Structure 1
Amino acid sequence: MHIDLIRSSSSKSLPQQISGTLAQRIRSGLLQPGARLPSVRSLAVSLKVSQVTVSKAYAELERSGMIICSQGKGCFVANPELFKQSEGHSWQEHYNDYLPRAQLWRNFKDSEVKYPFHLAAIHSGLLPLEQIGATMAALVTAQPELMATYGNFQGDPDLRETMRAHLLARGIKLASSDLMITSGTQQGIDLVARTFVGPGDTVYLEAPSYTGAIDVFAGRGAEMIFVPMDEEGMKVDVLTRLCDERPPKLIYTAPTFQNPSGVTMSMARRQRLLEIVRSYRCLLVEDDPFSDLYFHSPPPPPIKSLDTDGHVVYMKSFSKVLAPGSRVACVAAGGDILSRLIAAKSASDLGGPLLTQRAVLPFIAKKYDAYAAELRMILRRRMELADKLLKRYAPPGVTWNLPEGGLSLWLELPPSQDIGRLHELAGQQGISFLPGDVCYAGHTPSRHIRLCYSQMSEEDMQQGLASFLDLLDKYLS
Structure 2
Amino acid sequence: MITINKNEAIPLSKQIYMSFVDKIRSGLLPSGSKLPTVRQLAKDIEVSLVTIMKAYKQLEEDGFIELSKGKGTYVKMQLQPETSKTGQDFDWQLSIPDYLHRSQYARFQDSDASYHFSSSMIDPALFPNQYMDQLIEQVFKQNPRILSQYGGIQGDLALREKMTQNLLKSKIETTAENLLITSGSQQGIDLVARTFVGPGDVVIMEAPTYPGAIDVFRSRGATILTVPIDEDGMRVDMLHALCEKHNPKLIYTTPTFHNPTGTIMPLQRRKVLLDIAESHHCLIMEDDPFSDIYFDRKPPLPIKSLDKSGHVIYLKGLSKTIAPGCRIGLLAASGSIFKRLYAAKANMDLGSPLLTQKVIVPLVDSAKTEQHLKRLRAALKSRRDVVLAVLKEQAPRGVTCFIPKGGLNVWIQLPAWIDSNVLLYEANKRHVSFLTGSACFAIENEHSTLRLSYSYANEKLLQDGVMILCEIMQAMQPSSTSSPTF
TM over 0.5: yes
Provide the C-alpha distance between the structure 1 equivalents of 2:464 and 2:7, rounded to a whole number of angstroms: 51
Query: Once the 2 structures are TM-superposed, how far is the Cα of residue 85 of structure 1 from its aligned partner?
Result: 8.1
Map of 1:280 onto structure 2: 280
| Amino acid of the structure 1 residue aligned with 2:155 | G
Match for residue 26 of structure 1?
24
Distance 1:443-1:76 versus aligned 2 partners, 3 A rule = farther
Distance 1:306 1:434 in 2: 33
In structure 1, what is the equivalent of residue 43 of structure 2? 45
What letter corresponds to residue 390 of structure 2 in structure 1? Answer: L
Distance 2:442 2:473 in 1: 26
Which structure has greater helix proportion? 1
Structure 2 partner of 1:419: 420
Check the 8 A contact 1:201/1:222 in 2, yes or no.
Answer: yes
Correspondent of 1:15 among 13, 16, 22:
13
Deviations 1:384-425 (A, max 9, x none): 222221211121111112111111111111124222111100
How far off its partner does 1:14 sit?
A: 1.4
Question: Does residue 172 in structure 1 map to residue 179 in structure 2?
Answer: no
Give the corresponding residue for 2:409: 408
Counterpart code for 1:9:
E
SS in 2 for 1:255: coil
CA contact (8 A) 1:153 1:350 kept: yes
Residues 23, 443 of structure 1: 8 Å contact kept: no
How does 1:353-372 map onto structure 2 within 5 Å? Answer: 353-366=353-366, 367-372=368-373
1:112-131, aligned counterparts within 5 Å?
112-131=112-131
Amino acid at match of 1:125: A
Seen in structure 2, the aligned counterparts of structure 1 residues 473 and 416 have a Cα distance that, compared at 3 Å, is: closer
> What amino acid is aligned across from residue 209 of structure 1 in structure 2?
T
Q: How far 1:86 moved relative to its partner?
A: 5.8
Structure 1 residues 45, 145: CA separation in 2 closer, same or farther (over 3 Å shift)? farther
Question: After superposition, what is the alpha-carbon deviation per residue over 1:166-216, rounded to whole angstroms, capped at 9, x for unaligned?
Answer: 111111111111110001000000010111011111111111100000101
1:69 deviates by: 2.0
- Structure 2, unpaired ranges of 5+: 479-486
Aligned pairs (5 A) from 1:15-164 = 15-79=13-77, 88-109=89-110, 111-140=111-140, 142-164=142-164
Counterpart code for 1:299: P
Q: State how far apart, in whole Å, the 1-side matches of 2:176 and 2:319 are.
A: 19
Mapped contact 1:129–1:323 kept (Cα < 8 A): no
Deviations 1:253-276 (A, max 9, x none): 000000000000011100000000
Q: Distance in 1 between matches of 2:220 and 2:275?
A: 26
Q: Does 1:465 align with 2:466?
A: yes
Secondary structure of the equivalent of 1:113? Answer: coil
The 10-residue stretch of structure 1 (386-395 or 266-275) with the greater mean CA deviation from structure 2:
386-395
1:374 is aligned to 2:343: no
CA apart distance, 1:304: 0.4
Pair 51,87 (structure 1): closer, same or farther in 2 beyond 3 Å: farther
Using the alignment, how far apart are the partners of 1:380 and 1:312 within structure 2?
Answer: 31
| Partner-residue secondary structure (3-state), 2:90 | helix
Bigger shift: 146-155 or 308-317? 146-155
Number of aligned residues:
474
Paired with 2:404 and 2:475, the residues of 1 have a C-alpha distance of: 27
Q: Distance in 2 between matches of 1:80 and 1:106?
A: 13
The one-letter code sitting in structure 1 at the alignment partner of 2:221 is: G
Partner Cα separation in structure 2 for residue 80 and residue 113 of structure 1: 19
Q: How does 1:175-194 map to 2 (within 5 A)?
A: 175-194=175-194
Of 20-29 and 255-264, deviating more is: 20-29
**Per-residue deviation at 1:44?**
2.8
Paired residue for 1:440?
Answer: 441
Answer yes or no: is 1:386 the counterpart of 2:387: yes
CA distance in 2, matches of 1:355, 1:425: 43
Specify whether residues 37 and 442 from structure 1 end up closer, same or farther in structure 2 by C-alpha distance, changes over 3 A only.
farther
- Counterpart CA distance in 2 for 1:320 and 1:429 is 28
Q: Write out aligned runs for 1:231-380 (5 A).
A: 231-366=231-366, 367-380=368-381
**TM-score, normalising length: structure 1:** 0.95
In the TM superposition, what whole-angstrom CA distance separates every residue of 1:404-455 from its partner, at most 9, and x where no partner exists? 1111111111124222111100010000111111111245224211111111
Could you report, residue by residue, the CA deviation over 1:226-270 in whole angstroms, capped at 9, with x for unpaired residues? Answer: 111111111111111111111111000000000000000011100
| In 1: Cα distance, 2:376 partner to 2:38 partner | 55
Give a deviation string over 1:59-95, Cα, whole Å, max 9, x none: 2212211112223322211129979686552221121
Alpha-carbon shift at residue 221 of structure 1 (Å): 1.0
Residue type of the alignment partner of 1:388: A
How far is the alpha carbon of 1:156 from its aligned partner? Answer: 0.3
SS of the aligned residue for 1:198 comes to: coil
Range with greater deviation from structure 2 (224-233 or 209-218):
224-233
| Separation in structure 2 between the aligned mates of residue 354 and residue 265 of structure 1, nearest angstrom | 35
Counterpart CA distance in 2 for 1:39 and 1:435 is: 31
- 2:313 aligned counterpart, secondary structure: strand
- Quickly say closer, same or farther: Cα 1:225–1:80, change in 2 above 3 A: closer
Q: Secondary structure at the match of 2:173?
A: coil
**Is 1:211 matched up with 2:211?**
yes
Cα distance in 2 for partners of 1:316, 1:353 equals: 18
**Distance in 2 (alpha carbons) for counterparts of 1:49 and 1:157:** 53
Q: CA RMSD in A?
A: 1.8
Corresponding residue SS for 1:451: strand
1:283/1:313 contact within 8 Å kept: yes
Q: Which secondary structure does the structure 2 equivalent of 1:467 belong to? A: helix
Whether contact under 8 Å (1:260, 1:450) holds in the other structure is yes
Measured against aligned partners, the alpha-carbon deviations of 1:356-391 in whole angstroms (never above 9, x if no partner) come to 100111112413222212211111111122222121
Cα deviation for residue 142 of structure 1 reads 4.6
Kindly report structure 1 stretches of 4+ aligned residues shifted beyond 6 Å. 80-85
Letter in 2 for 1:435: T
What is the distance in 1 between the residues matched to 2:445 and 2:115?
Answer: 27
Quote the sequence identity (%): 44
TM-score, reference length from structure 2: 0.94
The alignment partner of 1:357 has SS state of helix
Question: Aligned AA for 1:13?
Answer: P
Q: Distance in 2 between matches of 1:193 and 1:417?
A: 35
Cα distance change of structure 1 residues 88 and 424 upon mapping to structure 2, 3 Å threshold: closer
Cα distance change, pair 34–170 in 1 and its aligned pair in 2 (3 A): same
Conserved 8 A contact 1:129-1:322? no
